[in-house]
Structure 1
Amino acid sequence: MNKFNGSGVALVTPFDKNGAVDFDALKKIVNHVIDEGINYLVVLGTTGETATMTTEEKSKVFASVAEFNNNRVPLVAGIGGNDTLAIAAYIKNFDTNGYEAILSVSPYYNRPTQEGIYQHYKMLAEISPLDLILYNVPGRTASNMSAETICRLAKDFKNIIGVKDACGNFDQFNQIMRDKPEDFLLISGDDPITLPMMAVGASGIISVIGNALPKQVANMVDLCNQGDFKNAIKVHLSLIEFSRLAFLEGNPAGVKAALQYLGICENVLRLPLVKVSSSLESDIIKELKKLN
């Protein structure tokens, strides 16, 4: 599973001033993060504002990123939801061209039991043409996928190869690292805690701030994987303030403000998300200038 060791980026979906998907800007973003050393890309995750996109738009974005990437780095498709049968049908019919795995968020809103979460992923694993990466993000789903459930799935299904975990609970991370199969990946889902997670054995990060600062994120993760935590900590500490600012008024509002300053895409979001405040945007740009 070395292809998903290291730094991944959860790509934003750029929109033009009229609110349509901006495919020219999407190509810029793909080239930007790959050229700066990111190891793999996640397409249409939470950061991609997937909840506000039509099925047709999603299909075009998936196909376009595969074209722009041109097999340079592995691609992961974000396909998840809270209707198991609907997600299973989508995955079964997904055009896998250019993609090597699917990142699927734990069911939200319904608040299933741990057994319900297990059965959800069991169905997906049994029909998926690609490997699966679990996604645990209790702050958005209103339920935590426990370490026991994660490791049970990892042991029962060979094509469930990792978990992106954004629960922030190091007791859970410790338990996953202790009980998981050797080749199962624990991936950070939170930029600010990537380094401490890697210190206990996580393989890397699926990053949001990596859209704007791919070189710095890739460098820090590479240093951790080389065991050079002394220098990795320096990079980690330098990114703390930008990470705080980027998430202060929601994701991906902060990182889109940064991307506009960098000349990569417009600072346009789809409702109910809105731009960050002008004062926060100024702070983000100020910090970005320091880091670049």
Structure 2
Amino acid sequence: MTLLTSDAKGVYVISVTPFADSGAIDFDSLDRVVDFYFDKGADGLTILGMMGEAQKLTQAESRAVAERVIKRASGKPVVVGVSAPGLAAIGELGRAVMDMGAAGCMVTTPGSLRTDPQIHTYFAQVAHTLGADVPIVLQDFPLSTGIHISDEVLGRIIDDIPQVVMLKHEDWPGLAKITRLRKAEADGRRRISILCGNGGVFLPEEMARGADGAMTGFGYPEMLADVVRLSSVGDMDRAQDIFDAHLPLVRYEQQPGAGLAVRKYVLAKRGAITSAALRAPGASLAPEATAEIERLLARQEKRLKELN
């Protein structure tokens, strides 16, 4: 079992959960999409996140998905989202997936938190519930949770809770937060890994600010891998060119309520999953949206050929 550490780098793709048109989990497509992500350059996977429709799964289904993905990954790191309203559910699922061989657990802030001490106490409780040997990814996603974690509170969490080894950075605007975290580390604070989300829409800038990679999803995960790899060796112009070629589709995926349907459409078109279905309740694409995506894909292909 490969455990997540504060030195983790690269791309941990947020995996979709494939469903049949009936709404049942499509485990054959789950196997296929895991292979697809790694074939396209992923260093690890993150499952049961918000874009994995985790909130629509039963506890038994969550365990079944985790077991299948961890087995299919064949030793490559898999982070499992275990966020839940209560600590008991977090502990139950977290311990189960760690026993299966997960690399760590991702947890975000519940909407009930109101003060800085509450935020700090919550993650201390999560760490105690999961256990001292479980690496934690702290998902900082105020656009979804409504909870803003200040630099000061985040610093105290890093100082006081060693199980927190990674920040999934999704603050927006949040580039300055990355800069301040890296400065604090240069001044002596413990290092943590920073992987960035938000669909990769700021990925080149985040890498330039000191991020270690991406933890997000996209219909073309090879773009994420290329941008992270090129940025890591200082070839920012080439990284930006590749990013810019995909940017119209990245932008289109950012539509609230429709982005996952777009992503699943592209993944199905590429053969990674059989059906683009979302489990109810979930949006479906109108014919006009499908036509727009096809136009974006054609233009993207043309631009990538020009770059090559």
CA distance in 2, matches of 1:85, 1:118: 18
Choose which of 192, 197, 203 in structure 2 pairs with 1:189.
Answer: 197
Displacement of 1:263 in angstroms is 2.4
CA deviations over 1:21-62 (Å, ceiling 9, x no partner): 000001110000101111110011111100111011101000
Is the aligned partner of 1:246 residue 2:246?
A: no
Is the aligned partner of 1:54 residue 2:58?
A: yes
Is the aligned partner of 1:269 residue 2:281?
A: no
Is the aligned partner of 1:199 residue 2:202?
A: no
CA distance in 2, matches of 1:117, 1:85: 18
**In the alignment, residue 136 of structure 2 is paired with which amino acid?**
L
- Give 1:91's aligned residue: 94
**In the alignment, residue 257 of structure 1 is paired with which amino acid?**
Y
Displacement of 1:218 in angstroms is 0.5
TM-score (structure 1 length as normaliser): 0.92
**Cα contact 1:101–1:133 (8 A) shared by 2:** yes
Written as runs of structure 1 = structure 2, the 5 A alignment for 1:82-121 is: 82-108=85-111, 110-121=112-123
CA distance in 2, matches of 1:216, 1:46: 21
Displacement of 1:3 in angstroms is 6.4
Choose which of 135, 139, 159 in structure 1 pairs with 2:139.
Answer: 135
Q: 1:3 to 1:74 in 2, by over 3 A?
A: farther
Structure 2 residues without counterparts, runs of 5 or longer: 302-308
CA distance in 1, matches of 2:41, 2:258: 26
Written as runs of structure 1 = structure 2, the 5 A alignment for 1:114-193 is: 114-128=116-130, 129-169=133-173, 170-180=175-185, 181-190=189-198, 191-193=200-202
User: Which deviates more from structure 2 when the two are superposed, residues 198-207 or residues 1-10?
Assistant: 1-10
Q: 1:105 to 1:67 in 2, by over 3 A?
A: same
Q: 1:288 to 1:130 in 2, by over 3 A?
A: farther
- Give 1:213's aligned residue: 220
**In the alignment, residue 174 of structure 1 is paired with which amino acid?**
T
**In the alignment, residue 228 of structure 1 is paired with which amino acid?**
D
**In the alignment, residue 216 of structure 2 is paired with which amino acid?**
S
- Give 2:292's aligned residue: 283
- Give 1:257's aligned residue: 265
CA distance in 1, matches of 2:88, 2:81: 16
- Give 1:229's aligned residue: 236
- Give 2:305's aligned residue: none
Alignment root-mean-square deviation, CA: 1.8
CA distance in 1, matches of 2:300, 2:184: 38
Displacement of 1:70 in angstroms is 1.1
CA distance in 2, matches of 1:127, 1:137: 22
Q: Report the secondary structure of 2:99's partner residue.
A: coil
Displacement of 1:274 in angstroms is 1.2
TM-score (structure 2 length as normaliser): 0.87
**Cα contact 2:159–2:190 (8 A) shared by 1:** no
Same amino acid, percent of matched pairs:
23
Q: Report the secondary structure of 2:127's partner residue.
A: helix
Structure 1 residues without counterparts, runs of 5 or longer: none
**In the alignment, residue 203 of structure 1 is paired with which amino acid?**
D
CA deviations over 1:201-236 (Å, ceiling 9, x no partner): 011111211xx2122211111011111112111112
Q: 1:70 to 1:245 in 2, by over 3 A?
A: same
